[in-house]
């Protein structure tokens, strides 16, 4: 089983560019209503869906705060490069980069343009 989280956003194309810039991933679908972002293999790593596209009744309420209690957590191969990409994407940094002594890795906590919290972490033992 492989998770394929979907987040609902105001602007799919802008969100896709932001995530591609931060994660170093690529578009696997593209479009104004729906996007699948893929890694190099290409495995789906994240889906983006526009709030108003199609008639899906279970996407959530666009009037409520985004992502409360949800963290989009990505373990990255090269933490230093990921931090540099986040800086290049002008990501809002919530915390870090820092060492998480419990997980024995480095991490940086970001806020994406839609209000979701995105965490990038190095590999376990990558101190």
Residue 34's closest CA among 24, 23, 46, 48?
A: 48
Other Cβ atoms within 10 Å of 94 Cβ, number = 12
Q: Give strand ranges (E) for 10-126.
A: 26-27, 34-38, 44-50, 71-75, 92-100, 105-111, 117-121
Tokens 């810039």 found at: 21
pTM of the model: 0.90
CATH architecture of 6-52+66-121: Roll (3.10)
Are the C-beta atoms of residues 47 and 6 closer than 8 Å to each other? yes
Predicted local distance difference test score (pLDDT) of residue 26: 97
pLDDT band at 87 (very low <50, low <70, confident <90, very high): very high
Q: Which of residues 69 and 81 earns the better pLDDT score? A: 81
CA distance 85 to 80: 9
Domain ranges of the chain: 6-52+66-121
pLDDT per position as a tens digit, 32-70: 999 999 999 999 999 999 988 776 777 888 788 888 889
């Amino acid at each position: 089983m492989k998770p394929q989280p979907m987040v609902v956003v105001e602007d799919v194309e802008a969100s896709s560019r932001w995530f591609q810039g931060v994660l170093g991933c690529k578009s696997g679908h593209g479009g104004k209503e729906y996007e699948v972002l893929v890694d190099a293999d290409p495995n789906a790593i994240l889906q983006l869906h526009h709030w108003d596209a199609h008639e899906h009744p279970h996407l959530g309420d666009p009037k409520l705060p985004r992502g409360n209690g949800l963290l989009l957590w990505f373990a990255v191969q090269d933490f230093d490069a990921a931090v540099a990409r986040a800086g290049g994407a002008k990501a809002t940094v919530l915390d870090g980069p820092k060492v998480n002594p419990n997980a024995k890795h480095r991490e940086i906590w970001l806020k994406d343009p839609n209000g979701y919290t995105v965490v990038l972490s190095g590999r376990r033992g990558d101190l």
